[in-house]
Chain A
Amino acid sequence: MTLSALSVMAWRNLWRNRRRTVITMVSIALATMLAILMSGMQDASWREVIDTAARMGGGHVTLQHPEHLDKPTLSRTIAGAEAKAARALHEPGVRRVVTRIVGQTLLSTAHDTFGAGFVAYDPTAEDESTLSLLEALSAGRPFTRPDEGGILLGARLAKNLGLTPGRKVVYTMTGKGGEIVTGLARVTGLVATGSPSVDLGLCLLPIDAVRKTLGYGPEEATQVALFLHDNRDAAAVARTLGAALGDDAVALTWRQAQPELDSFIAMKRSGALIFELLILLLCAAGIFNTLFVSVIERLREFGILIAVGFPPARLFGLVMLESAWLSLLGLTAGALLVAGPYAYLNRVGLDLTQLAGGEQNMDIAGVGMSMILKISVYPESAAAIAAAVITATLLAGLYPAWRAGRVEPVESIKLV
């Protein structure tokens, strides 16, 4: 008896109790839909978090001084930063490369002093796609030249300092040789991301103005930030670049540069994985029940089949094929069921602004995230879900299939 004949028999067996099959199929479909939506939500959210964090921080891959991660002082610089940036731009998967100076500063007015982080960037090389703070400009204007004497302040920081666009502020830094250096800047604009940690503790400066204040060379910077088309390529790009860099720089992935974000995402993903496994387990329990009851109802029939020479292994295979059909049906139904909601949530998204009391952004691990929840599942996540559903269905079929192959015909047929 061929596999195709056995498959036909399994298919027909499945429809002997239509209601039960449909209920099981729907439960697999719902579990698939839920898993796809959850994974899509996670994939999209974490992609957005990682991309936003990259745009807020040092890109998906960061080139910096080997000791800068542990001791992030302004004395640990990369001398040929621009040349390294030009080299990095040729790497496959790299979308943009920018050089920056990143550090800590003390901002002072006549009335108050506050500490803040700063990012000094080249306004002719960067825009919102590399520096997310630029899209949160709430007042004033962005820089136009890398050497202008301006500063963009976080909105809450500006409020604390009592500053508005047009007013002046003194920034104080520790220079390359450990000396205290100061610069004067006029507030060019304010940024309001909605993330308290950002709005309270960050400012932007033009890179050449800072280079001059710190006494850096024209190509000197603390950071070369690489932006990739896909954050999942970060490790490969960092590996390739790391091998090509000299001793004065290392290539770090966003995971290495922002380990707290990586841990946060890993923790959240683990929680979601446990939830998804629970869904799968419930789904598998339903499938097990369906198959087991269906086997118990057919013991006599299995006895007949064994009596006419059906090998027990083939009966096992028959029930496993029924299980496989169920999983394929459930997956197909799940794909059809999820297509509509997925398309809507992928294009339009779910506006959670009202739920967040009107806030336009939420703070996730220090990263300002949009309140419009969109979903987008990675192909490998969808494949993993399909594989998990098929595996769970087949595992759920193992015992019923084994039971079918163990039928004693003399007991089940009861000749008289």
Chain B
Amino acid sequence: MSETAPTVVELDQVVKHYRQGAVDVPALRGLALRVSRGEFTAICGPSGSGKTTALNLIGALDRPTSGRVLLEGRDLGRLSRRALSQLRRDRVGFVFQAYNLIPVLTAYENAEIVMALQGVPAATRRQQVMTLLAEVGLTGLEHRRPDQLSGGQQQRVAIARAIAAGPAVVLADEPTANVDSETADRLLSLMEQLNRERGVTFLFSTHDPRVMERARRVVRFVDGRVDDDRSKS
């Protein structure tokens, strides 16, 4: 990654505590992390190390107990609920472990939903979504509903949905956890291709060695802090 690429994500001394009954559980303990545009980065670490919490905060799904989370320079802690909703819609893409497509929508409709929410005209939407679905290898499957698609195909739809609106960052949570090795390789190749050709910034949370192997930067979390941060040449 170029040294001059602008910062997309910045976590500045982020602390996050959860309440579990009467117990205060620290999830992040002063986390500091920067992700630049175009990165293909994996966050790894043992369970409970704070990977998910970090993704939730970056994705504007949760707020830190203290510290700052910035997305493209905007402090998420200062934004209203409505502004956060718009920010998620316009600047963040999500790929979940369990695909999490909307079951009543077709592959095409799932992929276009964010653009539809943005109010992009139908003709433009159609053109862009069809191109994208072709790019992720789903031509001919546009009208199928999620239950008519394989796990790998569903995850491709999820990837299409995540990048359709041109987000600043795609947060992918264990995207290969529910698919076989061959499908996982194909999905990773697809995301690499999108990263390379479209410049999409990917930030993975993963336990999968294959993801860590293909990532150009691997950040290891331990006890809510960055324990190791390595970039590959």
Find out whether the CB atom of A307 lies under 8 angstroms from the CB atom of B51.
no
Is B1 located at the chain interface by the 8 A CB criterion?
no
Docked CA distance A256–B55 (Å):
76
Which parts of A369-416 form the interface with B (CB within 8 Å)? Answer: 409-410, 413, 415-416
Is B5 located at the chain interface by the 8 A CB criterion?
no
Is A331 located at the chain interface by the 8 A CB criterion?
no
- Which of the segments B34-42, B85-93, B127-135, B212-220 contacts the partner chain? B85-93
Find out whether the CB atom of B61 lies under 8 angstroms from the CB atom of A1.
no
Is A16 located at the chain interface by the 8 A CB criterion?
yes
Using CB atoms and an 8 Å cutoff, list the residues of chain B in contact with chain A: 47, 51-52, 55-56, 59, 61-62, 81-82, 85-86, 88-90, 94, 96-97, 100, 102-105, 113-114, 116-118, 161, 173-174, 205
Find out whether the CB atom of A415 lies under 8 angstroms from the CB atom of B52.
yes
Find out whether the CB atom of B96 lies under 8 angstroms from the CB atom of A304.
yes
Docked CA distance A310–B102 (Å):
12
Is A343 located at the chain interface by the 8 A CB criterion?
no
Known A413-B96, A415-B56, A415-B205; judge A308-B51 contact (CB<8 A). no
Find out whether the CB atom of A309 lies under 8 angstroms from the CB atom of B102.
no
B55 / chain A contacts, CB cutoff of 8 Å: 415
Using CB atoms and an 8 Å cutoff, list the residues of chain A in contact with chain B: 1-2, 5, 9, 12-13, 16, 300-301, 304-312, 314, 409-410, 413, 415-416
Shortest 3 CB-CB contacts between residues of A and residues of B: A309-B89, A12-B104, A416-B52
Find out whether the CB atom of B116 lies under 8 angstroms from the CB atom of A5.
yes
**Cross-interface CB contact of A306 among B62, B85, B90, B96, cutoff 8 Å:** B85
For A300, the closest partner residue in chain B by CB is: B100
A310 / chain B contacts, CB cutoff of 8 Å: 85, 89, 117
Docked CA distance A310–B161 (Å):
13
Find out whether the CB atom of A311 lies under 8 angstroms from the CB atom of B62.
no
A309 / chain B contacts, CB cutoff of 8 Å: 85-86, 88-90, 114, 117-118
For A305, the closest partner residue in chain B by CB is: B102
Find out whether the CB atom of B103 lies under 8 angstroms from the CB atom of A311.
no
B61 / chain A contacts, CB cutoff of 8 Å: 307, 409-410, 413
Find out whether the CB atom of B100 lies under 8 angstroms from the CB atom of A413.
yes
